[in-house]
């Protein structure tokens, strides 16, 4: 047997549908053909992802709107029932149809589908506080998250509504009225349009933080958020 580069035989081999002597011939060819070895590895990956073709596929026929190649293969099998050779031809045909559907993106994929991964939830440190607010006078808004550290705090902010060109800073306000700067920036046109996300840090004890504010270098407060 000269297998050559036969995608159908490789598909049938991946499904375990070949006779013993055909299996040996395919294995001998794959051992000496890097191209077929790579294709066989991909077919096995597809087989694992798709699962086995169920018997109902032959009994009930192709699904409505299914891939035309798969439909033709199944109809041919129903017309050629019985015998090991017909069984092998069925497996070869279905293997080719399923592989074609998977590679070309057409038709119905019969088999198993994995559920999408759930979004990863990032746990915040104990004692983390978050606040949001909008200033009615300036129209600026901010969401601020205060994460405790050893005697100081980390600040994460999402700030919107401040005009471009403003030189601003994030201020952490203590319960005793003290103010510590956590960072500063120049508002860009993109920042005015889409908002700005900034992180910073301030030397204020975590349990003493009362609010986070945004002010410009002239002392104008755009928004203050209690936390």
pLDDT value of position 67: 46
| Burial bucket for residue 88 (CB in 10 Å: 0-12, 13-18, 19+) | middle
CATH number of the domain located at residue range(s) 129-226 in this protein? 2.60.40
Indicate whether 82 pLDDT > 60.
Answer: no
Coil vs helix vs strand at 129:
strand
Q: What is the torsion angle, in degrees rounded to the nearest 10, for the CA atoms of residue 161, residue 166, residue 172 and residue 173?
A: -90
Per residue in 109-145, pLDDT tens?
434 444 556 666 667 778 899 999 999 999 999 999 9
Per residue in 194-224, pLDDT tens?
999 999 999 999 999 999 999 999 999 999 9
Query: In which order are the strands placed within the sheet that holds 209-216?
Result: 179-186, 167-174, 209-216, 221-226
Containing 102, the helix (H) or strand (E) segment is helix 84-104
pLDDT value of position 38: 78
Q: What is the torsion angle, in degrees rounded to the nearest 10, for the CA atoms of residue 145, residue 146, residue 148 and residue 149?
A: 100
Q: pTM above the 0.75 mark?
A: no
**In the chain, where are the structural domains located?**
7-104, 129-226
């Amino acid at each position: 047997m000269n297998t050559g580069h036969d995608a159908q035989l490789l598909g049938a081999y991946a499904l375990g549908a070949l006779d013993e002597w055909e299996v040996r011939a395919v294995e001998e060819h794959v051992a000496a053909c890097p191209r077929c070895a790579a294709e066989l590895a991909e077919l096995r990956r597809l087989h694992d992802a798709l699962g086995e073709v169920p018997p109902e596929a032959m009994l009930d026929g192709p699904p409505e709107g299914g891939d035309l190649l798969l439909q033709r293969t199944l109809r041919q099998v129903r017309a050629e029932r019985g015998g090991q050779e017909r069984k092998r031809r069925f497996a070869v045909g279905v293997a080719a149809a399923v592989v074609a559907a998977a590679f070309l993106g057409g038709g119905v994929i019969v088999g198993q589908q994995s559920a999408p991964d759930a979004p990863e939830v990032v746990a915040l440190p104990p004692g983390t506080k978050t606040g949001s607010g909008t200033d009615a006078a300036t129209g600026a808004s901010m969401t601020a998250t205060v994460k405790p550290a050893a005697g100081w705090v980390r600040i994460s902010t999402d700030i919107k509504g401040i005009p471009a060109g403003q030189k601003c800073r994030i201020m952490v306000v203590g319960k005793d009225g003290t103010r510590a700067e956590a960072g500063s920036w120049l508002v860009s046109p993109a920042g005015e349009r889409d908002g700005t996300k900034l992180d910073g840090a301030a030397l204020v004890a975590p349990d003493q933080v009362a609010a986070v504010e945004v002010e410009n270098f002239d002392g104008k407060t755009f928004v203050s958020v209690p936390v």
